[in-house]
Structures are given as structure tokens and as C-alpha cells.
């Protein structure tokens, strides 16, 4: 499927890797071959998306880049260098959609007949399962704007702002990047997905720009009038020994710092959802649950709300974006500090990729644990971060960044 889709300049594969969840609607979705597209910069992007959806009322796939934050509040800017080149927003109406559910594949698209669907199916079967790819660039080519010492200094600077009362928690990230990197993105996605399968994995091609994601986090899902958000805050390494691994899970569950981070973000998400919710409908369905993934254990909460009558889908997005797990609290102030202390533009990283249905439902991930690649520039990037609080140990925050990057680093060893 992926090799077939990648022949098109625009395509998107979303795969839950059979991760158990009551909220999953599909096992996988593949959209390919754009019929209509929307590209918008921060300023009027959300209203442009609302108009685009109202015009087509069809399946839409695409992304919201982190720097759409500049449309959500006054005084925000993005002036750090950007090597990957994704626009602030892009959505496309696909000609073809493949939907996997209950061991069945459903193929459809604009003005599709049974013969058209069979043709796509046969084309997919004819595609090679494996391909010859160039060797991945070596780890020695990996660079970072923030090395260990500069990272530690920046964390201490952020903690000084916390001490002064400017904020409570800042999601602080650092970029790893390679220049003159030649990779074959579909193969890189297959390798990462095998190494670190995740419930919100995504392969997204936008001409010469690619997202290769093993994200474990859902940003926002709307089903009917119900909206849920599932922020992640709290991370632990895993252990091969089951007894020691269980102990690590319990240590994460009972860690006061990690719980405080998670609860702080839950409060932020509750506030964000309240702007478009029926009064009294915002509630926490699960607080600080522990979930295991291929590389780490994570602490995840689920916050739900019912939308108020007359709410447009982009109202919900605009009032909750960027997601609190990737900013901190209070949201506007920490976004200003992120711009000051981080040394590169986040772009698509810590944004969201997903879909909107013809009925106005949607589901978006959080773009983390992801490789972003610009083929024309031959620029490859992946960022990782952690939540900095007053009680943070800067060295442990550095180690958390390395832990989250481990699966991506292994691809280049």
C-alpha cells in the first residue's frame, strides 16, 4: 500500500499498528492523489480550512504545523531557522482512500466504480514488498543546535523564569538534524514502524517533504458531538526483565513530579475544551493511566467534552492548538519562552497530522517521535523534548530527550 501511494506527490498513511484502544475507529487509513488542496499560513488558516471543508464536504487529510500558534494569540512569532519547509497548514481532498477495518480493506474515492476499486487493489498487489534503497546516513553526520552544555544552560534559564512566577511548566525541545542526507522515506518509515510501532504512526508526503512518525499520542478526536484529548506527560524507560519492568511502571505511576506534570496539562486541556463545550460537559475520563509502548512507558490522561450547538470544527481546533502537552502552562507565556530558548523552528514537529470526515468528525495525532525530511534540501530532522518544572533535574531532562530519540537514532547506527 505504502509503495503504491508514494508514487503520488501527496499521500498520507495513518496506522494504529493494532494498538488496543476503545477510541480507535480504523486500523489504518491511506489517502492518495490530491484532487483539491489547501495551503495556508498562520493568520487566517483556520477560517480557510473551515471554508475548504464547507466547499467540499469530503474526506480531508493534512496537517497543522506548530507555528499556527501565531494565529491563536497576539504577540507570538516564529523567527528561528527552519530546515524542513512544511507550510503552517496543508489539507488535501484525495482521489483514492483505502480503509482497513476488521481485516477488510475498503477502497473508494471520487466518482469511483467497482472497476476503479479493483484496479487500485490490483495495482497495490503488483507493487514490490521490498525495494532497493540507499544506505542511511551514518550517526556521525548527526548534529544539534543545542549540545549538552547549551541544553543544560537553557533548562536552568527556563527554571529561573519559573522561579520568578512567569510560568509553571515548559515543554522544551531540541532538534537533531543531518544535512546532505539521502534517504528513501518509505523504507525509513517501514524500519521505524517495525522498531517502534505506535498507535498514531503516520507517513505523510507533501511533494518533496516527508513525515515519518511513530507517535504514541492523540491530540484530538471528534466523534459526533463528543471530543476527546489524550495528553501524554510522564515517561519511563522499559526493562527486559518483567519484574523490573513492572517496578518501573509503578515508579512512574507514583512519581509526584510526573503526576504533577500530567495533572497540570489536564487542567490546561480542560480549559481549552471549555471554550467550545456544553457547559458542565468537560470531564476527565482517565487520569494518569500508564501505557506501554515499544521503547517507553507513558502516563496518559483522557479528557472529554460535548460540543456546544453551532460550534464549527475549526473552532475546536483553534481553541486547543497547539496541544498543551507540547507547550506547558500558562500557554501563551510558555510559547514565548519556547521561541526564545529553542534554537530552531518546530514546524511540523509538535503539530498534528490526521483527517476530517465528510460528517465533520476528525482525528489528529501529535507529531512526536518523528523524522521530518526535505528531499530537495536533503535535510533530515527529528526533535525531542521534556517538561521542565521548578523541580526538574536538568541532567534527567537531557536523558529523557535521549530516551525519546533512541528508536530514531538506531536507524542510523
**Does 340 qualify as catalytic in the annotation?**
no
Q: Return the beta strands (E) in 257-412 as ranges.
A: 283-292, 296-306, 328-329, 352-356, 362-365, 370-374, 379-388
Q: Which entry of 69, 222, 233, 318 is annotated as an active-site residue?
A: 233
Asked if residue 109 lies in contact with residue 95, where contact means CB atoms within 8 angstroms, the answer is yes
Distances (CA, A) of 23 to 19, 171, 218, 400: 11, 26, 10, 28
C-alpha closest to that of 385 among 332, 346, 329: 346
State the Cα angle at 381 between 213 and 268, rounded to 5°.
Answer: 60
Distance CA 255, CA 249 (A): 10
Instruction: State yes or no: cis peptide before 330, omega within 30 of 0.
Output: yes
Distance CA 394, CA 179 (A): 28
Phi-psi region of 361 (alpha: psi -120 to 50; beta: other; left: phi over 0): beta
Residue 374 has phi, psi (to 5 degrees) of -110, 110
**Does 404 qualify as catalytic in the annotation?**
no
Asked if residue 345 lies in contact with residue 337, where contact means CB atoms within 8 angstroms, the answer is no
Distance CA 45, CA 51 (A): 10
Residue 102 has phi, psi (to 5 degrees) of 55, 45
State the Cα angle at 351 between 277 and 196, rounded to 5°.
Answer: 110
Q: Return the beta strands (E) in 110-196 as ranges.
A: 143-144, 169-179
Q: Which entry of 27, 71, 217, 397 is annotated as an active-site residue?
A: 217
Q: How far is CA 41 from the centre of its chain?
A: 19
Distance CA 325, CA 262 (A): 8
Active site residues: 217, 233
Amino acid at each position: 500500500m505504502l509503495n503504491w501511494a508514494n508514487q503520488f506527490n501527496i499521500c498520507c498513511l495513518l496506522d494504529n499498528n493494532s494498538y488496543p484502544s476503545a477510541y480507535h475507529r480504523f486500523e489504518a487509513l491511506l489517502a492518495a492523489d490530491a484532487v483539491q488542496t489547501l495551503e495556508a499560513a498562520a493568520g487566517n488558516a483556520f477560517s480557510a480550512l473551515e471554508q475548504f471543508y464547507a466547499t467540499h464536504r469530503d474526506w480531508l487529510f493534512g496537517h497543522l504545523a506548530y507555528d499556527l500558534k501565531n494565529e491563536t494569540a497576539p504577540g507570538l512569532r516564529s523567527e528561528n531557522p527552519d530546515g524542513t519547509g512544511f507550510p503552517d497548514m496543508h489539507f488535501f481532498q484525495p482521489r483514492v482512500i483505502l480503509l482497513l477495518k476488521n481485516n477488510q480493506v475498503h477502497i473508494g474515492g471520487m466518482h469511483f466504480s467497482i472497476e476503479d476499486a479493483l484496479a487500485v487493489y490490483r495495482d497495490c498487489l503488483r507493487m514490490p514488498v521490498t525495494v532497493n534503497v540507499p544506505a542511511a546516513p551514518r550517526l556521525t553526520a548527526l548534529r544539534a543546535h543545542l549540545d549538552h552544555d547549551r541544553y543544560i544552560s537553557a533548562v536552568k534559564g527556563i527554571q529561573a523564569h519559573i522561579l520568578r512566577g512567569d510560568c509553571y511548566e515548559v515543554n522544551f525541545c531540541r532538534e537533531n538534524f543531518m544535512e546532505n542526507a539521502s534517504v528513501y522515506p518509505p523504507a525509513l518509515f517501514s524500519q521505524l514502524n517495525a522498531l517502534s510501532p505506535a498507535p498514531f504512526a503516520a507517513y505523510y508526503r507533501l511533494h518533496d517533504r516527508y513525515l515519518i512518525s511513530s507517535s504514541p499520542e492523540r491530540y484530538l478526536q471528534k466523534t459526533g458531538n463528543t471530543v476527546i484529548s489524550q495528553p501524554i506527560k510522564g515517561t519511563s524507560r522499559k526493562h527486559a526483565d518483567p519484574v523490573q519492568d513492572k517496578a518501573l511502571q509503578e515508579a512512574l505511576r507514583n512519581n509526584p513530579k510526573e503526576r504533577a506534570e500530567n495533572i497540570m496539562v489536564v487542567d490546561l486541556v480542560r480549559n481549552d475544551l471549555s471554550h467550545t463545550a456544553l457547559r458542565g460537559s468537560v470531564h476527565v475520563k482517565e487520569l494518569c493511566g500508564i501505557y506501554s509502548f515499544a521503547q517507553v512507558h507513558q502516563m496518559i490522561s483522557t479528557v472529554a467534552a460535548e460540543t456546544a450547538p453551532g460550534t464549527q470544527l475549526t473552532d475546536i481546533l483553534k481553541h486547543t492548538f497547539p496541544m498543551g502537552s507540547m507547550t506547558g502552562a500558562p500557554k501563551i507565556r510558555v510559547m514565548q519562552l519556547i521561541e526564545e530558548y529553542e534554537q530552531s523552528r518546530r514546524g511540523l514537529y509538535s503539530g498534528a497530522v490526521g483527517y476530517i470526515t465528510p460528517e465533520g468528525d476528525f482525528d489528529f495525532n501529535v507529531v512526536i517521535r518523528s523524522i521530518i525530511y526535505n528531499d530537495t534540501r536533503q535535510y533530515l530532522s527529528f526533535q525531542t523534548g521534556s517538561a521542565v518544572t521548578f523541580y526538574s533535574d536538568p541532567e534527567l531532562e537531557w536523558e529523557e530527550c535521549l530516551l525519546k530519540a533512541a528508536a530514531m537514532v538506531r536507524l542510523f547506527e
